Amino acid sequence: MTSTLAIARRELDAYFDSPLGWLALTGFVFITGLFFALMVSDFSMQSTEIAYNPYMADQFNMNDYLLPAFFSNWAVILLFICPAISMRMFAEDVQNKSFELLLSSPISSTEIVLGKFLGGLGFVAMMFASTLHYVVIFYWLGSPDPGVLGASYATMFLLAASFIALGMLASAFTVNQVVAFVLTFGSLLGLWVLSWTETIMNNEWSAFLGALSMLSHLDQLIKGLLHVNDLVYFLSFIFFFLFATQQRIESFRWK
């Protein structure tokens, strides 16, 4: 446990030792900030117009119309940023030969994988923490439902964790960080758009592929509606890729 935390800590520190961490962090805050400014001003303009229609005005609120739309955009931003977070995790270590320190230390490959995963999650947590001023502004402008806000953050965290888990596997298969990035981004994009097959063709195969897609599992969660199948989807996604990464690291030792 102490070694897992030590690895997580070092991993997190490493992001801030290179421009990568700072770039990802500022990039994330900048782009979400852009969306925030545009969507909040758009929402306030719409609500002024809608104020003349008493029935519509009753229905129109930030919990249904602003928050889910705003956080859905995060998913796309994370699709770009998470591969950049995960790409260096193993590729850099193996290329710098520093991986031999981990391999020759009395720690299991599970501890190595979990440590690095936790380090990545720590970085995501810091990214999310740097957006908390949006929450303050939401409360200042209106009365958001804390449940919806909490669910949005939790869903995005779960999504980022899934992206990073897949990215770790890609990083463990190459010493080249660019290759790891492209591999992760490509796979995620593929999984993302799988649900489109449902609109193109309509049979049991497309239903199966649609169920594998990330997008179809995100819609409900982001509205604050917790369905067991969506949670199970993301948790088993994370577990599967962490397990595959662990097996990959194990194969370094015994192949």
Binding site for other proteins (CB under 8 A): 2-3, 6-7, 10, 13-14, 17-18, 96-108, 252-255
| Contact between residue 41 and residue 148 where contact means Cβ atoms under 8 Å apart | no
Instruction: Give the CA count within 13 Å in the CB-facing half-sphere of 56.
Output: 9
CA distance readout (Å), 22 to 13, 27, 28, 35: 11, 8, 10, 20
Contact status, residue 77 vs residue 185, Cβ threshold 8 Å: no
Spatial neighbors of 217 by CB under 8 A, at least 6 apart, are 229, 230, 233, 234
> In terms of CB distance, is 102 or 168 closer to other proteins?
102
Measured CA distances, 220 to 27, 172, 211, 230, 236 (Å)? 27, 32, 13, 8, 18
Provide, rounded to whole angstroms, the least separation between the CB of residue 124 and other proteins.
Answer: 21
Do residues 89 and 120 lie in contact, with contact meaning Cβ atoms separated by under 8 Å? yes
CB of 110 to other proteins, least distance (A): 11
Closest distance between other proteins and the C-beta of residue 84, in Å? 18
Would you say 17 or 42 has its CB closer to other proteins?
Answer: 17
Q: Which amino acid is at 140?
A: W
Residue indicated by tokens 């900048």: 30
For the chain, the distance separating the N- and C-terminal CA atoms, rounded to the nearest angstrom, is: 27
Whole-number minimum distance, CB 36 to other proteins, in Å?
33
State in angstroms the smallest separation of the CB of 77 from other proteins: 27
Is the Cβ of residue 107 or residue 211 nearer to other proteins in the bound state? 107
Q: Which is nearer to other proteins, 199 or 255 (CB)?
A: 255
For other proteins, give the closer residue by CB, 110 or 216: 110
Nearer to other proteins, 52 or 254 (CB): 254
- Tell me if 113 sits within 8 A of 245, measured CB to CB: yes
